[in-house]
């Protein structure tokens, strides 16, 4: 039998969750944050989340509106957050070109990272930012302090567990005396192999410290540190640097695709039928060719839950001359030396309706029937039970 869900949810993540909710809750060992995300996403913008009744003040037309869950892992709730964040970032970036760098860990570390997410994700940020800082300050490379906006992702295209950091770094930096802006060459200012070795060395050192201090849980059958270190140094770690992006506008558009992205969007789901879900993914072994795969709804949900971040964990961070502590000092100095205008936010201070109106060009409160009146809240719908 096909999934018993309404048409609007048919190919959405919420629809998949609703198909197998009882099985997932009964079979999977989910933590409180994962259970909260599961429930929020499954009921987002449905009667289960509660809502209100809007009535047109001109023609009397009534319309039921359901509440959003606002969970940061919900595919439905990220658009406005993403647009507001990108707009706010306009006033924070330094004008000019940027490099996109991706720091990934070897699969060997996946089990350790998954059961120690809060600690290990922080170490991943520290190692990636430390490698970039050391490479930038090295006189053989850039010889200056650069900065970065860093975003944590934990998934691959098929929802596999794949922790990695996306980092955007200005194509240049400030020397120690701060009297000039040193521009990076067109290619990335440090060889990727050298950056990879720095990243590997820092992360291994940080992991050793945490293990010595007994701050990490070890998965069953996980090797001791000496064996782990040997295996990690046998591998060439995957650090990837793309050529410099265009100006700040290009960077903002690029960041918008990465910052508030969740493990999978509703648009990638093709069908839910017979307790299975079919979705699209990019096969990077075939140069990003679009392919489809089908897995059980239970397996899909299990994979999705792996990417629910610990409560309160910040997945976007700023470093170097873009760090919060340097906004009015080094960042301002860099902008003055570069001599180009910065972008200013336009959505800051607006209400959620005003943001929607500015982005969509339409008024969400306008009556959809008569097109003249405004929809006004006249009643509240409480969740069942």
Summarised one tens digit per residue, pLDDT across range 41-81 is 999 999 999 999 999 999 999 999 999 999 999 999 888 88
| Mean pLDDT, rounded, for 196-207 | 97
pLDDT digits (tens, 9 = 90+) for 112-137: 999 999 999 999 999 999 999 999 99
Q: ∠ at Cα 86 (85, 87), nearest 5°? A: 90
In this prediction, residue 319 carries a pLDDT of 97
Does the pLDDT of residue 165 top 50, yes or no?
Answer: yes
pLDDT for res 370: 96
Domain boundaries, the chain: 7-73+348-381, 79-263+307-338
Per-residue pLDDT tens over the stretch 334-359: 999 999 888 778 888 888 788 888 88
pLDDT score of 1 more than 50: no
pLDDT, tens digit, 9 for 90 and up, residues 301-336: 999 999 999 999 999 999 999 999 999 999 999 999
What is the per-residue pLDDT across 3-52, written as a single tens digit (0 to 9) for each?
333 344 456 999 999 999 999 998 888 999 999 999 999 999 999 999 99
pLDDT for residue 254 is more than 80? no
Q: Using 50, 70 and 90 to split pLDDT, how confident is the model at 362?
A: confident
For residue 344, the model assigns a pLDDT of 79
Asked whether the predicted pLDDT for residue 2 surpasses 70, the reply is no
């Amino acid at each position: 039998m096909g999934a018993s869900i309404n048409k609007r949810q048919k190919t959405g993540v919420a629809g998949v969750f609703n198909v197998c909710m009882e099985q997932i809750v009964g079979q999977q060992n989910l933590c409180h944050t994962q259970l909260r995300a599961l429930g929020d996403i499954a009921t987002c913008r449905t009667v289960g989340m509660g809502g209100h009744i809007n009535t047109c003040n001109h023609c009397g037309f009534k319309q039921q509106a359901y509440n959003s869950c606002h969970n940061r892992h919900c595919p439905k709730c990220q658009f406005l957050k993403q647009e507001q964040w990108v707009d706010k970032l306009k006033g924070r970036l330094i004008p000019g070109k940027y490099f996109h760098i991706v720091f990934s860990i070897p699969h060997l570390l996946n089990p350790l990272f998954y059961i120690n997410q809060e600690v290990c994700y922080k170490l991943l940020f520290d190692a990636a930012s430390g490698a970039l800082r050391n490479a930038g300050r090295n006189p053989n490379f850039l010889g200056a302090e650069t900065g970065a906006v860093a975003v944590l992702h934990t998934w691959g295209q098929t929802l596999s567990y794949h922790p990695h950091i996306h980092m955007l770094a200005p194509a240049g930096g400030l020397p120690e005396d701060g009297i000039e802006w040193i521009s990076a060459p067109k290619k990335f200012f440090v060889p990727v192999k050298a950056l990879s070795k720095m990243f590997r060395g820092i992360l291994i050192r940080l992991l050793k410290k945490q293990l010595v201090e007994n701050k990490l849980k070890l998965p069953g059958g996980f090797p001791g540190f000496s064996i782990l270190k040997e295996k990690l140094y046998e591998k060439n770690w995957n650090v990837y640097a793309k050529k410099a992006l265009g100006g700040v506008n290009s960077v903002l558009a690029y960041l918008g695709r990465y910052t508030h992205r969740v493990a999978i969007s509703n648009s990638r789901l093709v069908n839910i039928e017979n307790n299975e879900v079919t979705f699209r993914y990019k096969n990077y072994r075939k140069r990003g060719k679009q392919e489809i795969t089908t897995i059980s709804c239970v397996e899909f949900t299990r994979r999705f839950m792996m990417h629910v971040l610990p409560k309160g964990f910040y997945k976007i961070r700023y470093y170097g001359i873009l760090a919060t502590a340097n906004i009015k000092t080094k960042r301002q100095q860099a902008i003055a030396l570069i001599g180009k205008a910065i972008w200013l936010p336009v959505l800051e201070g607006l209400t959620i309706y005003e943001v929607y109106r500015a982005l969509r060009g339409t008024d969400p409160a306008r009556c959809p029937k008569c097109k003249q009146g405004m929809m006004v809240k006249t009643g509240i719908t409480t969740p069942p039970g």
